[in-house]
Structure 1
Amino acid sequence: MADDAGERQPAPMEAGGRYNDHSHHQATGGAFGLPMIAPAFASMAPSGPVVLADYGCAQGRNSLRPLAEALARTRALIGAEPAISVVHVDQPANDFAALFLLLRDDGESYLRADANVFASAVGRSHFDQVLPSGSVDFGWSSFAAHWLSAAPVTDAGHVWPHLADPAVEQRFAAQAAEDWRRFLASRARELKPGGALVVVQPCLGEGVATTFPVLMDWTQQALEAMEREGMLTTAERRRMTLLVYERRLDELRAPFASGAFAGLEMVAEEARPMPDPFWPAYRADSDAEALAGRHLGFFRAPFMPSLIAALDPARDAAFRTAFAARLESELHARMLAAPQPLLEPMTIHSALLRKVG
C-alpha cells in the first residue's frame, strides 16, 4: 500500500445533464431531510442581504424541491420585496451549464416562482470556506458530504472503501473524520448567528458493514477480469477506488460529543433506513431489463467518471469510452442474470445544525 496521499480527488458527476436524469436514488434519500427545513426557520430572523446556499449542488435537479421550500419559508419571514440570493456550490469541474439551463428552463425552477430571487454558483470544494464569513442564512447539503476531499491512499486495491483491507478502510475512516470536521467548520464560519444548515447523507446503520455489497463486489470482479485480460494495468485497477465513505452514526455524531462544534449545535437528527427505490417497480412488472437500466444509470452517473479518471493519463478518449462500455456491459449481464435490490442496505442521516448566537 502506497503512502502518497491526496493525489486523487473525486471526479464530477457525469456531464451533459445525465446526473440530473439518473439521480432518482439520491432524490429519494434527500427527501428524508425536507421535514427539517421548517424547524430550521422557526427561530430565524433574517436581516440584511439574505443568502441561501446549496452545498454539493451537482446539476441542480435534486436541489429544486428543498430550495423552493426554503425560499417559501424565507418569504414568510421577510416578505415579498427583499431580494434573495441562492448560491450553488460544487467543485470547479462540475457541469454548471446543466445547472443553469435547468434553472432557466425547468417548470419546477424556483426562478419561475419568484422574480426577486437571484442564482449564482461557486466552483470550489465545500470542504473549505467558499462564502464570506457570517453571510449565509440557510444552507442545504444532500448526498454530497459523504464524498471525500481526496484519496488517503493512491492504491487502495478495492473499488469500495468499506470492502477494502481493514488497514485501508481505517485510512478512509480517518480521512472521512477530518473532512466532516472541515465541512462543518467551514459552514460555521459562513453562517450568520442563528443561521441553520440541513445536511442529508447516506450512512451505515447499526450492524451494517457496507452499502451496495453486491453491486460493488460485481464491479470489483469486472475490474479484476479486465486486469487479468490486460485491458487494465495493475496500477490502474488498484487506484480505482471511489472516494466515498459512508460514515457510521457514531462517526457523524463525534464532533458534537461535547456539545457545539466550531459554533454549530446539532439541533435535531434522524436516521432512517431506505430500501432500493427501483425494486418496487420490478416486483410489479418483473422487467429485469428496466431494473438493470435504472441500476446502471445510478452507477454510471456518479461513479463512472471517477473510475475513468483513475486510468493512466496516456489513455486516449477511445480507450476511455471502451473501458466504460466494457464495465457497463459486465454489470448489465450480472444484473440480468440475478435481479435483486442493489442499492441497499442504506440508512439516511438527516441533521439540522444551527449557528450559536
Structure 2
Amino acid sequence: MACVPTRSLPANGGDGLYSYTRNSTFQAKWGVEAAKALIKESIAEKLDTKRFVSPLAASTTFCIADLGCSVGPNTFIAVQNIIESLEVKFSSDGLSSETTEFQVFFNDFTSNDFNTLFKLIPCDRHYFVAGVPGGFHGRLFPKASIHIIHCSYALHWLTEVPKEVVDKDSPAWNKGRIDYAYGPPEVHEAYAAQFARDLERFLGAREQELMCGGLMALVVPCLLYGTTAQQCTLIAMGGVLGSCLIDMAIEGLLSENDVDSFNLPRYYASQQELEAVIKRNGSFSIERIELLDRPKINRGNITERLSMVTSYFRALLEGLIKEHFGAEIVDGLFDRFEKKIEESSMLSDPGYKSPGELFILLKRTVA
C-alpha cells in the first residue's frame, strides 16, 4: 500500500452500537451542554441584532451554520440553544421574533450520514433546515451570508496527517507509532504546523462567509496548561491503539508498512497556539475565551467506563481504520484495545488528564 497521509473521515453513521449517535455523550456533557450558558450570554452581550434585523422589515431571514455536525443528537442541542438565545435577545431588544425566520445549515463531509441526520431532526423545531456537504476548511456559503457559526469538537481533526510523518527520509518519520505524543520533537512540530495551516484555512473561509458583526462560537478540545501530550488520556489511548496494530503486524495479521503509514489525523492544540493563529488572521476579535467547566468523572465503575471508551473510539475511528487496513481487522483490533486499556492505569490514575474544552467566541470585525 502506498504511504500516503491519512485524511479525516466522518464518524460512524446510523444508530447502531458503534454509531456516533449512540457514542457522543462525552461531547454532549462536556462541550455542548456546558457551553449553553456561555452561548446565551455571548448572544445577549455581543450580538448587535439591530445591525441585522430591522423593526420595520416585513420579514428577515437569520442564518445559522453548524460546521462538523455529524449525525446528531448534539448538533440539534447546540442549534436549539442558539435559537432560544436569539429569541430572548430579540425580545430584550424590542424586536419581534415572529417576523424573523431562522435558516439552519448542517454541514459535514460529503460522506457523512445525512440520511440519519435528517431522520433525527426535531419535529417541533422553529427553524428551516438545509444540509451542506463539504469539508469546512474551504468555502461553503456565499460571501457575508451567515449571521452565526457554531463548530464543536471538530477543529482538532486535521485535513490530513502531515506528509513528513510517513516519509522515511524525513526526521519526522513516525515509524511504529500512530500519534505524535511518543515520537521525536519533529513529529510534534509537523502536527502543530499542519494544525496551524488547517485553522488558517478554516478562518479564511469563515472570514468570507460571516457577516460583519456576526459571531462564531467554537468548542475546541485542547491540551491543558502544564499537561504533556503523553499525560493526556485521549492521546495516550491513541498510543495504546497503535501498540495493538504493532502487535497484529508482529503476528502477521497486518503489514508493517501499512502500520507505519497510518497516523491519526488529530491534534490537541494549546490555548496559546489557537490564539496565535486567530490573531494572525486579523479578521476576528476574540470576544471570549475560557475553559468550560467539566463534570467530575466517577472513577468507581471502571468496567462501564471501559466499555464506553472503547465504543467511543470505535465510533470515531472505525471509518479511518477500515479505509486503511480493511474491515476484517476491526473487531479484533478493538477487542485488543479494550483489554490493553483494562490492563493499564489510564482510567484510574489521576496522573492522566483529559483534554480541556475551550470555548472561543469570535466576532467578524467590521471592515
Question: Does TM, normalized by the shorter one, top 0.5?
Answer: yes
For residues 270-320 of structure 1, what are the alpha-carbon distances to aligned partners after superposition, in whole Å with 9 as ceiling and x for unaligned?
Answer: 024747x7x41x51xx4x432221111111111222122222xxx5xxxx2
Structure 2 CA distance for aligned equivalents of residues 149 and 237 of structure 1? 20
- The answer for the alignment partner of 2:76 in structure 1 is 64
Shift of 1:337: 3.6
TM-score normalized by the length of structure 2: 0.83
Equivalence for 2:289: 269
- Runs of at least 5 residues in structure 1 that lack an aligned partner in the other structure: 104-108
2:334 to 325, 328, 335: 328
**Structure 1's 75 and 131: CA in aligned 2 closer, same or farther, altered over 3 A?**
same
| Counterpart-to-counterpart distance in 2, 1:85 and 1:124 | 18
Aligned to 2:353: 344
Distance 1:94 1:164, change over 3 A: farther
Matched, 1:23 2:46: no
Whole-angstrom CA distance in 2 between matches of 1:177 and 1:67: 27
SS in structure 2 at match of 1:58: coil
**Does structure 1 conserve the Cα–Cα contact (< 8 Å) formed by 2:30 and 2:292?**
no
Paired residues, what number? 330
Q: CA deviation at 1:262?
A: 4.1
Please give the alpha-carbon distance, in whole angstroms, between the structure 2 residues aligned to 1:207 and 1:75.
Answer: 40
Query: What is the alpha-carbon distance in structure 1 between the residues aligned to residue 24 and residue 283 of structure 2?
Result: 33
Moved more, 203-212 or 223-232: 203-212
2:34 and 2:250 mapped to 1: Cα distance? 42
Moved more, 335-344 or 179-188: 335-344
Unaligned residue ranges in structure 2 (runs of 5+): 54-59, 91-95, 167-173
Spell out, residue by residue over 1:55-109, the C-alpha distance to the aligned partner (whole angstroms, 9 max, x if none): 1101121112221111112234251243211001111111111111110xxxxx3
Question: Taking every aligned residue pair, what percent have the same amino acid on both sides?
Answer: 22
Deviation string, structure 1 residues 225-263 (Cα, Å, up to 9, x no partner): 0111111111211122110001111101103447xx342
SS in 2 for 1:122: strand
The alignment yields a C-alpha RMSD, in angstroms, of 2.3
The offset of 1:214, in angstroms, is 4.0
- Inter-CA distance 160–32: structure 2 relative to 1 (3 Å threshold): farther
Tell me which amino acid in the other structure corresponds to 1:297.
S
Q: CA deviation at 1:180?
A: 1.0
Separation in 2, partners of 1:269, 1:132: 28
Which letter does structure 2 place at the counterpart of 1:26? Q
Contact 1:33–1:350 (8 Å) recurs in 2 = yes
Specify which of 190, 211, 217 is matched with residue 192 of structure 1: 211
Q: Report the equivalent of 1:255.
A: 277
1:185, CA displacement in angstroms?
1.8
Query: Is the CA contact 1:33–1:199 (under 8 Å) kept in the aligned structure 2?
Result: no
Describe the shift of the 1:257–1:137 C-alpha distance in structure 2 as closer, same or farther (beyond 3 A): closer
In structure 2, the residue corresponding to 1:83 is in which secondary structure?
A: strand
Q: Partner residue of 2:263?
A: 241
Q: Distance in 2 between matches of 1:252 and 1:75?
A: 31
Q: Which residue of 1 aligns with 2:324?
A: 310
With normalisation by structure 1, the TM-score equals 0.85
Kept in 1, the 8 Å contact 2:227–2:353? The answer is: no
